[in-house]
Amino acid sequence: MRLLLRRLIATLGVVLGVVVLVFLLIHLIPGDPIDVMLGESALPADREALRHALGLDLPLLEQLYNYIDGLLHLDFGRSLHSQRPILELLVERLPATLELTAAAFAITLALALPLGLLAAARRGTAWDHGAMSFSLIGVSIPHFWLGPLLILVFSLWLSWLPVSGREGVGAVILPAITLGTALSAILARMIRSSVLEVLSEDFIRTAYAKGLSRRQVLLRHALPNALLPVITILGLQLGALLAGAVITETVFSWPGIGLLTIEAIQSRDYPVVQACVLLIALSYVLINSLTDLVYALIDPRIRIGIRVGAGA
């Protein structure tokens, strides 16, 4: 309970910092949203009336206060381009991003776990070198290059999968592979490193002495004890999936939060940009906070350390 309270207080502090930072950064962007809505040829009286209606003539601190007060009531404002409530736009686009993230995460685990375990079990062999070479290639290839390459091969040449959009079950495959490849490469290397470290422990030798096979030792003893650092990296990278979705969704015209962000930037719809960036940042913070809690639940040494520190 003490750990949960500490993490909650720390998370609230980070969330407040993120809200203030996003607000200030958006207000530092060159350009005037009034020009976007009315055009540069609008009359000064009309410009000032609209500025007053939107509250843009208020001092910056008062605007920040109004913005935070609106967030507490789930009021993100209205889009300058479509005049729709921003919360409505986010709710409309969020399921697509969550679907893409879940598919990318599934591909990540499907690739990283067998590659990492195989590399650790066959250390120094061709299997190990092949798995680590794949990891190096996966980390090195950027999303904006891998995405069009997959479209060229599997959509245009082979005609197996859709080029873009969200129509059909197969539409999520290419963007999920694009988004999950880099994460699976990083995770595979971490799994290999953690498993190799655990394999040198005494309890592993005891497991072999009891007559267990290599597969049983890896899956029942080595992997569970090697998961702690892997979970940490997984939490960090899972948050990064949402940030990486901005590029991937743009390449594949996937109608999620990432594409909404790019569309809002192109149309200079600053309130929508602000809301999208804030949502991505808050998701990252929330995922990392949950990762810390999961880490503490799995490793009792962290809970014991917290109790000892509190008692001291």
Q: Tell me: do 108 and 203 sit in the same domain.
A: yes
CATH for 101: 1.10.3720.10
Q: Tell me: do 98 and 223 sit in the same domain.
A: yes
pLDDT of residue 183: 83
- Is 168 contained in some domain? yes
- Is 309 contained in some domain? no
Q: Tell me: do 22 and 170 sit in the same domain.
A: no
Q: Tell me: do 19 and 163 sit in the same domain.
A: no
Q: Tell me: do 154 and 67 sit in the same domain.
A: no
- Is 310 contained in some domain? no
pLDDT of residue 312: 47
Q: Tell me: do 13 and 119 sit in the same domain.
A: no
Token match 């979705």: residue? 245
Q: Tell me: do 169 and 240 sit in the same domain.
A: yes
One-character DSSP codes across 28-82: TSSS-HHHHHH-TTS-HHHHHHHHHHHTTTS-HHHHHHHHHHHHHTT---B-TTT
Contact 290, 234 (CB under 8 A): no
Return left, alpha or beta for 162; rule: phi > 0 is left, psi -120 to 50 is alpha, else beta. Answer: beta
| SS3 state of residue 286 | helix
pLDDT of residue 214: 80
Q: Tell me: do 23 and 105 sit in the same domain.
A: no
What's the domain count of the chain? Answer: 2
- Is 218 contained in some domain? yes
- Is 20 contained in some domain? yes
| Cα-based distances in Å from 307 to 37, 270, 292, 302, 311 | 57, 46, 16, 9, 6
Q: Which residues of the chain have pLDDT under 70?
A: 1-4, 30-32, 36-40, 243-244, 296, 298-312
- Is 38 contained in some domain? yes
Number of helices followed by number of strands (H, E) in the chain? 14, 0
User: Of 72, 104, 129, which residue sits at a domain end?
Assistant: 72
Q: Tell me: do 62 and 98 sit in the same domain.
A: no
**Structural domain containing residue 35:** 2-72
CA angle 210, 212, 217 (to 5 degrees): 115
User: Of 255, 275, 298, which residue sits at a domain end?
Assistant: 255
Q: What is the pTM of this model?
A: 0.80
Roughly how many angstroms between the first and final C-alpha of the chain, as a whole number? 18
User: Of 255, 273, 290, which residue sits at a domain end?
Assistant: 255
pLDDT of residue 91: 92
- Is 79 contained in some domain? no
Q: Tell me: do 128 and 64 sit in the same domain.
A: no
Token match 């750990």: residue? 3
- Rounded Cα–Cα distance for residues 108 and 138 (Å): 11
Contact 75, 87 (CB under 8 A): yes
Q: Tell me: do 108 and 158 sit in the same domain.
A: yes
- Is 294 contained in some domain? no
Q: Tell me: do 174 and 32 sit in the same domain.
A: no
